[in-house]
Structure 1
């Protein structure tokens, strides 16, 4: 059972939603995994979904599963495209990965935000919001 498994603390890993501009000058939004560790993350799996209300009522997005494989040390990887229509939702990202055969697992949440509340995402060189 899950209570019998000890999960080490996740450190040096972040998830962010950030805005970029495509070659047509249009805004594009993506969720990114940021690995600030000095070691690669293996067998990276992310499950994402959005909830209009934190109690589970209201609209929900589809649950998506992403296999990123290996994410190199001190790098980032795109997870998925994000539509601005779900910025008002609580977006959840369940992250699981291995480092040297040890399993790490953490739930990241991006609270509802607007495009006017962006901050610098230093690791990506873009504007966006970090997950908590």
Structure 2
């Protein structure tokens, strides 16, 4: 059955974790969906969750669901804030969206300890430091 579905390749869509602000006590992080296309994407559904091993035990976070009506071309939208304590887990974002009547979907997974300063880039469109998966 799944083999009968068309494979719609997701291109020019990214999920990014950006460092919003930093103080002596803490850092504030947000997760964004970036549309690098020239055209809008619509009916965007995002499921986020964290999972993995911490202190020798399996850990799972709550599954959150987000809906964004549309994201214009060369634009971004906030998905959610993210806590630094989850950076040691797999942080998964499953994104589905439409262009016209065609549906696209892809999983973006930030692996444990991948959200670190040595992996920072200047995020396109957002123009903040962070880590991006495309």
How many residue pairs end up in the alignment? Answer: 127
Shift of 1:127: 1.1
TM-score (norm. length: structure 2): 0.85
Compute the RMSD of aligned alpha carbons: 2.0
What is the match of residue 8 of structure 2?
A: 8
Aligned CA distance change for structure 1 residues 26 and 59 (closer, same or farther; 3 Å): closer
Structure 1 residue 2: deviation in Å? 3.2
Q: Where does the alignment leave 5 or more consecutive residues of structure 1 unmatched?
A: none
Residues 69-114 of structure 1 deviation map (CA, whole Å, 9 limit, x = unaligned):
1111110001011000001111111000000110001011111225
Name the structure with the higher strand share.
Answer: 2
Runs of 4+ in 1 over 3 A off after TM superposition: none
Residue 125 of structure 1: which of 124, 127, 132 is its match? 127
Query: TM-score, with normalisation over the residues of structure 1?
Result: 0.87
